[in-house]
Amino acid sequence: MTVTEKSPAPQPAPRTGGDLSIGVGQAVRDSFVVARRNLLRMMRIPEVVVFGLVQPIMFVVLFSYVFGGSINIPGAGLDASSYREWLMGGIFAQTVTFATAGASAGIAEDMQKGIIDRFRSLPMARGAVLTGRTFADLAQTALTLVVLAIVAFLVGWRFHDGVVKAFAAFVLLLLLGYSFTWIGALIGLSVRSPEAATSGGLIWLFPLTFISVAFVPSENMPGWLQPVAEWNPFSAAVLAVRELFGNLPEGYQAPDAWPLQNPVLATVLFCVVIIAVFRTLAVRKYKRATG
């Protein structure tokens, strides 16, 4: 009498997403795969990109011709052309930070539609889902900056310190935008709907961008508000961009606050800290939400 042994049933492959068994190289490849998926999705819905371009263009035109000549710029007075050059650093920085709302809404929508659950079933690094999304948002931000720079040239903005410094200014803007998308990612993971994510991604940006040196000098603000504006990371980024573009008026003296005395260094440090803190929080939140 022979005994027939049953072969063991195949077991599903263990999910390795987020485990140490996935190397850095694989995690990077996974991130670019997710980024490609999001970029293809953006291309299939071009109105999202178009509407994202309309707002900064409106800000450029309205602020240039409504406030130009009405705001006293240290070292330039009420000169309208000087204000346009002063303004553009603020508009550029505001535009890249407002991409935060898109990141928030996109991640919240993926969570709501269950797309994230599909990613969970794949042997991929869990952090790649968020990193890929931020890479895609960074590409869209770069396109927005190109269009915005063209519009700025049309209204009279110029850079004066050479192509290398101008390129460095745009790189710094992209770093700023990328760091803020991680804040958007955390917000998108913390709410229940894309509508709430959009509101949550925008509401805190308005005080951040307007209580700064983006549109008016801090000297024009009440005394108690000036330190808030001068130590605002957004103010450091705006002043750094103006410095690299050569858009500061002759004789301009930056306030004594350390971030505005060392704007480029301060901006890089602020961005590194924001990425380190909010990427860690967002990935941890994602793992808890999909665990």
Convert the pLDDT of each residue in 32-89 to its tens digit: 778 887 778 777 777 777 777 787 888 888 877 777 666 767 665 566 677 788 888 9
4 inside domain: no
Q: Report if residue 85 sits inside a domain.
A: yes
* DSSP H stretches of helix in 155-222: 163-190, 194-203, 205-210
- 120 part of a folded domain: yes
- State how many domains the chain has: 1
Q: How far apart are CA 268 and CA 67, in angstroms?
A: 30
Give the H/E segment covering residue 158: none
CA 270 to chain centre: 13
pLDDT at 18 over 90: no
Round the average pLDDT of the chain to a whole number and report it: 81
With vertex at residue 182, the alpha carbon angle to CA 47 and CA 145, rounded to the nearest 5 degrees, is 45
DSSP 63: I
Q: What is the mean pLDDT of residues 134-154?
A: 88
Q: What is the mean pLDDT of residues 90-107?
A: 86
7 in a structural domain: no
Tell me the residue type at 135: F
Q: How close are the terminal C-alpha atoms of the chain, in Å?
A: 49
Collapsing DSSP to helix, strand or coil, 73 comes out as strand
Give the phi and the psi of residue 73 in degrees, each rounded to 5: -100, 125
Q: Is 263 part of a structural domain of the chain? A: yes
pLDDT of 155 higher than 90: no
- The answer to the question of residue 1 being in a domain is no
What domain range includes position 237? Answer: 24-290
Tell me the pTM: 0.83
